[in-house]
Structure 1
């Protein structure tokens, strides 16, 4: 196994390649310019609406936020008779934007929580809730820490929790590094959570910290797609994450790492209307606000096998594919799967055993029901953020296409690659109006591209997406 990391403009991506050389997991690490999810902001209460049972907040640069009664009551100890017991208009609150799919809808208020939480590589820090019953913070140490280490960290970190008023959780991974790195990370994470309130202040971790924090334990290589980000990572790991230092390297394919290891192909397959199975059958995945529906279909499997054998093969292949895509696409919540109806009890037993074995390899547990007489099975998987489809396919910029943000980020990625070539000239990006409008609203991304490419960048509206280097008499082109 190994992890590959690609540093982009506004977004980094990391992928886990399994022991067979196939992409097993894909993770996006977004700046708050690209996505507000996870951002911590000091917000002003704009309205306490008792009729809607909602607290509306001004999130400054992020727009409007909303907090429901269940989350608002975390600020109050004891019984809550009225919503106004939890917050009042004009009050300044520190909140965190949640990973609610609704954040993708233009004009919709962002769902927030007062229980802000920052996950580090060795430590997790979170704001206190009034219902914790402790105003000085609490320290929790992993049971995997040796007793001597646990006592030393308790002595070092307990004063910090009391002073900062923040809960700290020391993870088992802390056992692999010296106490100094654990303490330093705890201090770094508590700072934005315990700083004095100041309306409009916005905080989110650096993209390189998000990417390195997410790297799994073990001694598998961590390969970067370019030398600049590798150099940066070596500096950061030496200062903050020493357990990763010896694992860093450059990917042999450089900026084409995700293509070379099949990640881009796997991404396109995952987003297709039909995911084709080896037997000729196929499955489709459709996400709705309430649930994700997965439909298993016979397809061309009957051409090579008898009816019962074809059904058995397609269902078993679908079980493996579903287990893979739940993880790769990060699909959470309620999932309802419509398998092809099977009569034989041994065939049903084979199906459930195959699915359970595949799901058992997941880091995120998945619960399931049995197979109903209609061939339906319900599964439930905890949400850890936006799914791949929510991130890339909702709110299309063009009918049937990816959303404006996804197109813009893909355009920036191509421009970054072309901009690093030796050919001089102006870097010109052309795209439909919805995409250029998204970029125009985020000038910091264009400035970052100019700094990365060391050249001027021009954005133009056009019917097709393209990236070119333009100079007198010559043009180099990459077309999306």
Structure 2
């Protein structure tokens, strides 16, 4: 597996692409005026407690109040999810919180009081004294070695080491110097944050997570990354300093890209981003996926399309579903789709085929950095899964709802609008006395009124005993029209 990270940095926008074997797998976009909030720590103020929902709204200085559930409010030694929310917080109370989910759509940010601050190999948990290890580190001997390494390092450092730590996946194989360096860095950082919390007045931002290019290095620069290419000399110099200080093992793999050809054109990244905004994804076999995002969930439908197979229908279905499983895993990462996801594979009668398709999907999702959970095939032949959603999807970052169709994806036909015009004229004729009527509408609607519907227009004029005139409004959408009394 060949893996590279490409960074396209401009003053207006930072973009990061993760490319595996020459194929784009993930893309991250950050704009200065709309930076992600996940990982930021705030001193907030409780503005409304909701006992019926076991939750509260907290003002952290954003346009919309953020949301916190009782289970996310920490009290040492107590299971807070079993306590009523009004025993945990009250209106006007100051609360130190961390953002776990960006505001998505109409929903405010999601919060927790369980603070966690990541470094390269460790995550600091200020309100804990536990040493945990990433589940992705599977070897029992390595888990034991790493746990002993952290416990010995904490014992050697002495005072001020009461916090808990979690060893990240990147810690696999590291030695004592790297662990101690991370612990010291995190302790210094938490001391600075604590002092800001004490002196700050709510609502206030007391800690911001790293910008995209440094966050990418911290979280994604794993041993199997061959190259990290950056097309901005200024950013490259900042990255070099960051790498010297915190990620020395990455140093030889970071390089400045001075080429005249845009860095994202190296692997057709721009084209792939455009394709990722489409509803239809073509498969090599001739089959295709249809991906629909809604506020509640994402649905992905698999179709055979032009693939007819070589032997029989069952073989055709099985091969299409296998290819679709791999393609779905890539699309989930590329589009950053999260929450509940429903996969409608083509119905398979053979249980072994079902098992192999599910296994292919699980295998393809192993490289995903987001936490996923995949169920078996339901009675309706659907596969239900969840993918942890912390940031907005690619579509929500780059697009907005169409103002013409208001996000429906369809428009009323010119026929339908014509009949709405007729009903509105009748309504106006009954309510008001006027000499004539002027219909202002789009070109397509006026054309239809003057052509196919001209007979109905004449009948209507005779019925109301008033003339009807028409005027094209070039700026009107097909659904827009006005009936003006003259």
**1:339 corresponds to which residue?**
345
**1:201 corresponds to which residue?**
204
**1:57 corresponds to which residue?**
58
CA distance in 2, matches of 1:63, 1:366: 29
CA distance in 2, matches of 1:3, 1:212: 9
**1:370 corresponds to which residue?**
376
CA distance in 1, matches of 2:286, 2:169: 45
Using the TM superposition, give the Cα deviation of residue 3 of structure 1 relative to its aligned residue in structure 2, in angstroms. Answer: 1.5
**2:483 corresponds to which residue?**
none
Q: Is the 8 A contact 1:29 1:211 kept in 2?
A: no
CA distance in 1, matches of 2:222, 2:276: 26
**2:191 corresponds to which residue?**
191
CA distance in 2, matches of 1:267, 1:154: 45
Change (3 A) 1:369 1:243: same
How do 1:53-92 and structure 2 match up within 5 A? 53-61=54-62, 63-72=64-73, 74=75, 77=78, 82-92=84-94
Q: Which has the larger radius of gyration?
A: 2
Using the TM superposition, give the Cα deviation of residue 157 of structure 1 relative to its aligned residue in structure 2, in angstroms. Answer: 5.0
CA distance in 2, matches of 1:2, 1:9: 23
CA distance in 1, matches of 2:117, 2:74: 21
2:293 is aligned with 1:294: no
**2:165 corresponds to which residue?**
168
Alignment RMSD, CA only? 3.5
CA distance in 2, matches of 1:280, 1:398: 33
CA distance in 1, matches of 2:40, 2:257: 31
Change (3 A) 1:112 1:172: closer
Q: Is the 8 A contact 1:10 1:34 kept in 2?
A: no
**Which of the numbers 324, 327, 345 marks the counterpart of 2:330?**
324
**2:278 corresponds to which residue?**
272
Using the TM superposition, give the Cα deviation of residue 365 of structure 1 relative to its aligned residue in structure 2, in angstroms. Answer: 5.8
- Deviation larger for 299-308 or 263-272: 299-308
TM-score by length of 2: 0.69
Change (3 A) 1:31 1:124: farther
CA distance in 2, matches of 1:6, 1:153: 39
- Deviation larger for 111-120 or 46-55: 46-55
Change (3 A) 1:384 1:88: closer
How do 1:20-39 and structure 2 match up within 5 A? 20-28=21-29, 33-39=34-40
**2:109 corresponds to which residue?**
110
Q: Deviations over 1:124-160 (max 9, x none)?
A: 12342xxx6xxxx445578365688545522355533
**1:212 corresponds to which residue?**
217
Change (3 A) 1:138 1:309: closer
Using the TM superposition, give the Cα deviation of residue 109 of structure 1 relative to its aligned residue in structure 2, in angstroms. Answer: 3.6
Using the TM superposition, give the Cα deviation of residue 181 of structure 1 relative to its aligned residue in structure 2, in angstroms. Answer: 2.9
Using the TM superposition, give the Cα deviation of residue 86 of structure 1 relative to its aligned residue in structure 2, in angstroms. Answer: 0.8
Q: Is the 8 A contact 1:122 1:185 kept in 2?
A: no
2:387 is aligned with 1:359: no
**1:430 corresponds to which residue?**
none
Q: Is the 8 A contact 2:150 2:179 kept in 1?
A: no
Using the TM superposition, give the Cα deviation of residue 48 of structure 1 relative to its aligned residue in structure 2, in angstroms. Answer: 2.7
Q: Deviations over 1:159-186 (max 9, x none)?
A: 3333xxx433344645255455323421
How do 1:309-458 and structure 2 match up within 5 A? 309-344=315-350, 347-348=353-354, 350-364=356-370, 366-372=372-378, 374-393=380-399, 395=401
Q: Deviations over 1:235-266 (max 9, x none)?
A: 12112222222221023646711222222222
Change (3 A) 1:205 1:369: closer
2:233 is aligned with 1:227: yes
CA distance in 2, matches of 1:361, 1:115: 27
CA distance in 1, matches of 2:217, 2:291: 31
TM-score by length of 1: 0.69
CA distance in 1, matches of 2:151, 2:353: 54
Using the TM superposition, give the Cα deviation of residue 336 of structure 1 relative to its aligned residue in structure 2, in angstroms. Answer: 1.5
Q: What residue ranges of structure 2 are gaps of 5+ in the alignment? A: 135-142, 408-474, 476-486
CA distance in 1, matches of 2:351, 2:148: 54
CA distance in 2, matches of 1:352, 1:3: 29
Using the TM superposition, give the Cα deviation of residue 221 of structure 1 relative to its aligned residue in structure 2, in angstroms. Answer: 1.6
- SS in structure 2 opposite 1:301? coil
CA distance in 2, matches of 1:369, 1:52: 28
